[in-house]
């Protein structure tokens, strides 16, 4: 796990000397505090900041080259099946001098070319420079766990793990994308396309590789959309037990793969089903409770003995009882933080600097403090439960989607029963079933009074923001039940990408590698192929996952139906911060940039204090203001002072 940066100028290699890419890499040292190196090879200059996880000796230093000096690698991530791939490559003549997965990646590229990524099980963002052909290969993992950003200008192309690194390059312009700002403020959506808040910086899409030379550029999708379930029926069939067994075996194997580490490893724990399943499986692997061996060899396994928890004591937010049950059942050691309003005020500006782009809630503060606590404890790798809700249908709103899925399949009895007696739920379910989408039609900015009625920030924003049309993500048109297609859209575009961005930046702020077992691509494919009945049968949710982990999760957690998600007391935090946020509104940078009406931010502060504006829309305005000051106006190499 590392920070990578690189720049290529095919017209004049002297334009991007090593010192310039050194500045890019220097902006990423928090991602890789263990080593730092910059190499210039022909038209390419590559920089790397290393977080040493596998073979932490100097032998693993990057940029790394093949023995003949042709291919040069900078790489951020982990290929969890590197031991199996190494054996396969040794059988065809490759020799290895290190114990890293990086050397396996290089050998795989030398053997299979760009198709090597189809052999990988892991998370990655990587660049490989072919010195013989003056060609650059870039790739990002199937689910987009690891970030990779690009900037282009004429014969020049630059890439980096974070936006701030690219902003250090003189030829990369920092103009802001007002359409993305509009979508964030009015619709509360982010990370939904390859566009970023900066016009001239794009994301490399997940599951894509880019091959670039002076004369051509080719973007390839190497992982096709998974096959989606087409069974919306309620009646069980003889294959359901096998489907649950497959989920169980793949989840166990995924956790076992992600226990491979040469440094201390732990887990995040919230008290919910997802993180508790990971901690429980890791403990069962550690003590040998499972009778069946996992599918994967167990070399270099580091089992987590510490779990990390953000504890809130407010009503409806306290999950300590469930966490304690998991800790007792698994024999792990618990470390916890209790975030306060003062903690929020102390860390939020540094957190936003690390994030590079605005965020939709204050819940990241708790995650940020958990990562800080883990790093203080000497842990460099954390397992987390990200992705399970989107794959196995964990959120309460999925009940309505399930009802619409049944109605669209012709099962009127089940669909109407799932909707219950709530008029609001019935209306939403019927609308979903008729239109075939749960995405609320985004109203054009010029609709006047209607816009004001449905978008609470309408009256605070500048006209140039309100005139922008929304940017809708491109969806994958493919067969599947309504629920399966909805879940895949959430995984691919509308929900999970933002959560993965938050976790990557928060963990890497402290040099921690976050691993997400639920996003093993094999498990993703199996989960999305499950019949609707193994996901949701209202009020039951995550049916297949609960059945798969029934013997490794305490019954108190297994029986929970009160999903809290990862919430913070945002209302009280923001209300307690008005004395700090208020003065910022007196000379607003977001207003100077033309996003908010003159005087709009101060009016929003007063309206929030008086209860006329909700905490969620108010946070978007406050966040945009802090972002404008600490990211847009801040030099990329220096985080703001707390």
Q: Are residues 601 and 475 in the same domain?
A: no
Q: Residue 198 has what DSSP assignment?
A: B
Query: How high is the pLDDT of residue 207?
Result: 97
Mean pLDDT (the chain) is 90
330 shares its domain with 285 = yes
- Any residues with CB less than 8 A from the CB of 233 and at least 6 apart, and which? 409, 411, 531, 532, 533
Per-residue pLDDT, 91 = 97
Residue of 73, 82, 114, 107 whose CA lies nearest to 93: 107
Q: What is the pLDDT of residues 384-442, one digit of tens each?
A: 999 999 999 998 888 888 888 888 888 877 777 777 766 677 677 667 766 667 664 44
Write 488-495 long-range contacts (CB < 8 A, 24+): 488/225, 488/226, 488/228, 488/528, 490/390, 491/143, 491/387, 491/390, 491/391, 491/524, 491/528, 492/206, 492/225, 493/192, 493/193, 494/189, 494/192, 494/439, 495/390
- Decide if pLDDT at 641 tops 80: no
Q: Are 380 and 512 in contact (CB under 8 A)?
A: yes
- Percentage of the chain beyond pLDDT 70 is 90
Reading the block at residue 641, the tokens are 């002072």
Could you report the per-residue pLDDT of 100-141, keeping only the tens digit for each? Answer: 999 999 999 999 999 999 999 999 999 999 999 999 999 999
The pLDDT assigned to 319 comes to: 86
Q: What φ, ψ does residue 493 adopt, rounded to 5°?
A: -140, -40
Whether residue 589 sits in one domain with residue 451: no
Residues 217, 302, single domain; the answer is no
pLDDT at 18: 66
Same-domain check for residues 168 and 304: no
pTM: 0.94
Reported as half-sphere exposure (CB side, CA atoms, 13 A), residue 236 has a value of 11
375 confidence band (pLDDT: 50, 70, 90) = very high
Of 453, 485, 517, the position where a domain reaches its end is 485
Residue of 432 and 642 predicted with greater confidence: 432
Burial status of residue 631 (CB atoms within 10 A of its CB: 0-12, 13-18, 19 or more):
buried
Same domain, 461 and 498: no
> In CATH, what number is assigned to the domain containing residue 116?
3.60.20.10
Residue 538's alpha-carbon distances to 71, 556, 606, 612, in angstroms, are 54, 20, 41, 35
What are the structure tokens assigned to 377, written together? 């404890």
Q: Which residue has the higher pLDDT, 460 or 562?
A: 460
- State the DSSP string of 264-332: -EEEE--SSHHHHHHHHHHHHHHHT--SSPPSS--TTB----EEEEE---STTT--HHHHHHHHHHHTP
In a domain, 641, yes or no: no
298, part of any domain: yes
Same domain, 112 and 15: yes
Instruction: Report which of 8, 10, 76 is spatially closest to residue 46, judged by C-alpha positions.
Output: 8
Domain boundary among 558, 580, 598: 558
> Which structural domain range is residue 141 located in?
2-221
Distances (CA, A) of 86 to 91, 93, 94, 520: 9, 11, 8, 19
Provide the 3-class DSSP secondary structure of residue 162. coil
d(CA 510, CA 506): 7
Quote the pLDDT of residue 579: 92
Q: Over pLDDT 90: what percentage of the chain?
A: 76
Based on the fold, state whether residues 311 and 357 are members of the same structural domain: yes
Asked if residue 469 and residue 525 are part of one domain, the reply reads no
CA distance 209 to 634: 32
Q: Residues 277, 375: one domain?
A: yes
Query: What is the CATH classification number for the domain harbouring 261?
Result: 3.40.50.620
Which range (374-378, 420-424, 475-479, 636-640) has the least confidence? 636-640
- In this predicted structure, the answer to whether residue 452 has a pLDDT above a threshold of 90 is no
Q: How far is CA 304 from CA 141, 216, 252, 359, 373, in A?
A: 25, 46, 15, 30, 15
Answer yes or no: is 333 within a domain.
Answer: yes
Average pLDDT for 297-326: 85
Write down the pLDDT at residue 312.
86
pLDDT at 449: 41
Q: Span 55-68, mean pLDDT?
A: 95
Kindly tell me the sign of the dihedral angle through the C-alpha atoms of 346, 349, 355, 358. positive
Condensed to tens digits (0 to 9), the pLDDT of residues 277-302 reads: 999 999 999 887 764 455 667 778 88
Whether 639 is covered by a domain: the verdict is: no
The answer on pLDDT for 445 being more than 70 is no
- Number of compact structural domains in the chain: 4
Q: Is the pLDDT of residue 357 over 60?
A: yes
Q: Out of 167, 194, 221, pick the residue that ends a domain.
A: 221
How much is the average pLDDT of 313-337? 89
- The verdict on residue 232 lying in a domain is no
Is 203 found in the same domain as 63? yes
Structural domain includes residue 228:
no
- Separation in Å, CA 262 to CA 24, 56, 521, 540: 28, 7, 24, 40
Residues 6+ apart with CB under 8 A from 379: 264, 265, 266, 306, 308, 512
Q: Are residues 369 and 437 in the same domain?
A: no
How confident is the model over 52-58, as a mean pLDDT?
Answer: 94
Confirm whether 465 is domain-assigned: yes
Residue 169 falls within a domain, yes or no? yes
pLDDT, tens digit, for every residue of 499-556?
999 999 999 999 999 999 999 999 999 999 999 999 998 889 999 999 999 999 999 9
Tell me the per-residue pLDDT of 182-236, one tens digit each, with 9 for 90 and over.
999 999 999 999 999 999 999 999 999 999 999 889 999 999 888 999 999 888 9
Across residues 557-572, what is the average pLDDT? 79
């Amino acid at each position: 796990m590392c920070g990578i940066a690189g720049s290529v100028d095919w017209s004049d290699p002297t334009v991007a000397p090593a010192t310039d890419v050194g500045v890019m890499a220097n902006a990423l040292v928090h991602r890789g505090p263990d080593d730092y190196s910059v190499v210039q090879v022909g038209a390419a200059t590559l920089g790397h900041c290393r977080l040493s996880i596998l073979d932490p000796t100097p032998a693993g230093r990057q940029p790394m080259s093949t023995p003949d000096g042709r291919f040069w690698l900078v790489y951020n991530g982990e290929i969890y099946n590197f031991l199996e791939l190494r054996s396969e490559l040794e059988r065809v003549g490759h020799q290895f001098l290190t114990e890293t997965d990086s050397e396996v990646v290089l050998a795989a590229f030398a053997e299979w070319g760009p198709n090597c990524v189809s052999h990988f099980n892991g998370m990655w963002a990587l660049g490989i420079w072919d010195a013989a052909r003056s060609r650059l290969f870039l790739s990002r993992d199937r689910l987009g766990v690891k970030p990779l950003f690009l900037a282009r200008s004429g014969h020049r192309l630059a890439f980096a793990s974070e936006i701030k690194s690219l902003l250090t390059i003189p030829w990369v312009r920092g103009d802001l994308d007002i359409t993305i700002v509009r979508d964030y403020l009015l619709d509360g959506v982010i990370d939904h396309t390859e566009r970023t808040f900066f016009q001239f910086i794009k994301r490399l899409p997940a599951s894509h590789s880019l091959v670039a030379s002076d004369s051509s550029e080719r973007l390839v999708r190497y992982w096709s959309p998974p096959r989606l379930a087409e069974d919306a029926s309620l009646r069980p069939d003889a294959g359901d037990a096998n489907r649950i067994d497959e989920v169980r075996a793949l989840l166990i194997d995924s956790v076992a793969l992600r226990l491979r580490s040469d440094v201390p490893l732990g887990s995040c724990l919230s008290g919910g089903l997802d993180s508790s399943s990971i901690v429980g499986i890791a403990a069962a692997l550690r003590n040998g409770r499972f009778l069946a061996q996992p599918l994967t060899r167990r070399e270099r396994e580091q089992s987590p003995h510490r779990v990390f928890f953000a504890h809130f004591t407010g009503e409806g937010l306290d999950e300590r009882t469930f966490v304690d049950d998991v800790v007792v059942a698994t024999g792990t050691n618990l470390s916890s933080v209790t975030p306060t309003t003062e903690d929020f005020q102390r860390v939020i500006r540094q957190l936003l600097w690390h994030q590079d782009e605005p965020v939709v809630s204050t819940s990241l503060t708790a995650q940020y403090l958990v990562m800080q606590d883990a790093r203080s404890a000497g842990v460099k790798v954390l397992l987390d439960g990200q992705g399970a809700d989107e794959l196995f249908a964990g959120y309460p709103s999925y009940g309505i989607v399930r009802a619409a899925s049944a109605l669209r399949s012709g099962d009127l009895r089940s669909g109407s029963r799932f909707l219950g007696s709530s008029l609001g739920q019935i209306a939403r379910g019927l609308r979903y079933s008729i239109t075939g989408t749960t995405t609320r039609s985004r109203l054009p900015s010029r609709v006047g009074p209607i816009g004001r009625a449905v978008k609470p920030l309408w009256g605070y924003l500048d006209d140039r923001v309100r005139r922008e049309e929304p940017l809708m993500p491109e969806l994958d048109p493919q067969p599947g039940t309504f629920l399966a297609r909805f879940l895949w859209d959430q995984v691919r575009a509308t929900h999970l990408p933002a959560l993965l961005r938050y976790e990557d930046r928060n963990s890497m702020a402290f040099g921690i590698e976050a691993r997400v077992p639920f996003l093993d691509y094999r498990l993703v494919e199996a989960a999305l192929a499950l019949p609707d009945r193994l996901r949701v049968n209202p009020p039951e949710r995550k049916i297949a996952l609960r059945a798969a982990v029934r013997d490794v999760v305490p019954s108190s957690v297994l029986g929970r139906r009160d999903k809290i998600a990862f919430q913070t007391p945002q209302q009280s935090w923001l209300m307690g911060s008005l004395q700090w946020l208020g003065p910022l509104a007196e000379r607003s940078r977001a207003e100077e940039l033309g996003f908010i009406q003159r005087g709009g931010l101060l009016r929003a502060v007063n309206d929030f204090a008086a209860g006329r504006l909700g905490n969620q829309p108010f946070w978007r305005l406050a966040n945009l203001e802090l972002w404008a000051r600490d990211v847009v106006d801040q030099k990329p190499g220096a985080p703001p002072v707390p």
